Amino acid sequence: MALAGMNNRATQRAHSTVRWAIGVCAGVMFVVATLTGTSARAQVGASNRAMTLVVPFSPGAANDTLARILAPQLKTALGSVVVDNRPGADGAIGANAVLNAPHDGHTVLVAPDQYVIAAALGEAQPFDFERDFAAVVRTNALPFFLVTNPKMLPAENLAAVVAELRARPGQYTYGSAGNGSPHNLAMLMLLQHEHLDLVHVPYKGMGQGIPDFIAGRIQLVITGLPAVSSHLKDGRLRVLATVGTHRTSLRPDTPTFAEAGVNDVQMDTWLGLLVPRDSPRAMIERINRAVNAALQLPEVREQMAAQGMEIGGGTPQEFAAIIQTSGARYRALAQSTQIGKLLQ
């Protein structure tokens, strides 16, 4: 009897222990499920948030065109993507809008290299472009070309053009999209290297200068293809060389300045995406992957080529290196006598 009682009590304690263990396990599973559900809801919420591509210029600018080509292609990987034009103050308003938004990778600056140029030339900016932004991906190169009006400057190659300009200092004029624009800086590289003297006519945009170019009031420019492509086809304008470091797929038969006999006239203008410096690294990588995939789509490549954009791509680290190289080149040019005097 005593032994049977002891066995019954042991059995009861064992059952109690099992019930306690089951209760603990159930509680743990509830907590885990709750936390997992919360995490999943947070992730879903993040993916459902619209991504905003901030264009710091008006509709029709090159980076606006880029954003509107990319936006519909990024929806599959990134969810809803909207384009927000924030023009003004030479791009500062748009850049500030990105810096003032949450630094979660959902607000992206669609940037031209104008920011690097402005910093190199000492223009006042309410931010430090290289310090405050993180590179995501270089989406495009924007090849620039030396273009002449053959009626006013009939030389058919770069060497002949340089010889003609050197023989008649101060008698020829060139146009640009304004003092300190890439068009202006590229031409200044040529003038300095070859010791040429041309009259500069700055416009508020290259589009405004094209009628004067066709009419012969200016004789040469360095610009991208969209501004001149229709006039190249009808022979009213002529391309002689590209200022890029390599030939471009947009005009593979056009030599670089170096190939045409003029060294040290190189400029690789670009467009790219950036986010605030402390944005989540995982988000930067996610956007980078999505954009690189979009850049390989035939319809995207076709649309960009029609706008004078060469396909870019690559890693955030590669884009960061390009930004640093661009800044160094522009700073070196800014220290030269001609550009310093021009921008005073």
The pLDDT tens digits for 210-262 are: 999 999 999 999 999 999 999 999 999 999 999 999 999 999 999 999 999 99
CA distance 337 to 249: 34
Residue 157 above 50 pLDDT?
Answer: yes
Spans of all domains in the chain? 50-142+269-334, 144-267
Mean pLDDT for the chain overall: 87
Q: pLDDT: is 279 or 192 the higher one?
A: 279
What pLDDT is attached to residue 307? 94
Which fold, 144-267?
D-Maltodextrin-Binding Protein; domain 2 (3.40.190)
Residue 333 above 80 pLDDT?
Answer: yes
**Backbone conformation region of residue 50, classed left if phi is above 0, alpha if psi is from -120 to 50, else beta:** beta
Is residue 133 packed enough to be buried (19+ CB in 10 Å), middle (13-18) or exposed (0-12)? buried
Which SS3 state, helix, strand or coil, does residue 343 take?
Answer: coil
Q: What Cα–Cα distance (Å) separates residue 277 from each residue in 127, 129, 132? A: 12, 10, 5
CA distance 206 to 211: 10
Q: pLDDT per residue over 185-213, tens digit each?
A: 999 999 989 999 999 999 988 889 999 99
Is residue 127 packed enough to be buried (19+ CB in 10 Å), middle (13-18) or exposed (0-12)? middle
Is residue 32 packed enough to be buried (19+ CB in 10 Å), middle (13-18) or exposed (0-12)? exposed
Is residue 157 packed enough to be buried (19+ CB in 10 Å), middle (13-18) or exposed (0-12)? middle
The distance in angstroms from the start CA to the end CA of the chain is: 111
Closest CA to 167 of 212, 206, 197, 209: 197
Residue 300 above 60 pLDDT?
Answer: yes
Q: What Cα–Cα distance (Å) separates residue 254 from each residue in 22, 107, 141, 144, 191? A: 78, 38, 16, 11, 21
What pLDDT is attached to residue 18? 42
Question: Which two tokens mark 168?
Answer: 């008649």
> With pLDDT > 70 as the criterion, what percentage of the chain qualifies?
84
Confidence band, pLDDT 50/70/90 cuts, at residue 340: low
For 50-142+269-334, CATH number out of 3.30.1280.10, 3.90.420.10, 2.60.40.1180, 3.40.190.150 equals 3.40.190.150
Q: What is the mean pLDDT of residues 317-339?
A: 87
Q: What is the mean pLDDT of residues 264-292?
A: 96
Taking the CA atoms of residue 97, residue 98, residue 100 and residue 102 in that order, the dihedral angle to the nearest 10 degrees is 140
What contacts 334, CB < 8 A, 6 or more positions away?
A: 120, 121, 122, 340
State the DSSP string of 177-191: SSTTSHHHHHHHHHH
Domains 50-142+269-334 and 144-267 share a fold: yes
Q: pLDDT per residue over 62-115, tens digit each?
A: 999 999 999 999 999 999 999 999 999 989 999 999 999 999 999 999 999 999
CA distance 3 to 65: 90
Helix axes 62-78, 281-295, angle to 10 degrees: 110
State the DSSP string of 132-179: HEEEEEEEEE--EEEEE-TTT----SHHHHHHHHHHSTTS-EEEESST
Question: Which two tokens mark 139?
Answer: 């989406």
Burial 305-321 (b: 16+ CB within 10 A, else e): eebbbbebbbebeebbe
Q: Which helix (H) or strand (E) holds 298?
A: helix 298-306
The answer to whether residues 318 and 137 touch, using CB atoms and an 8 Å cutoff, is no
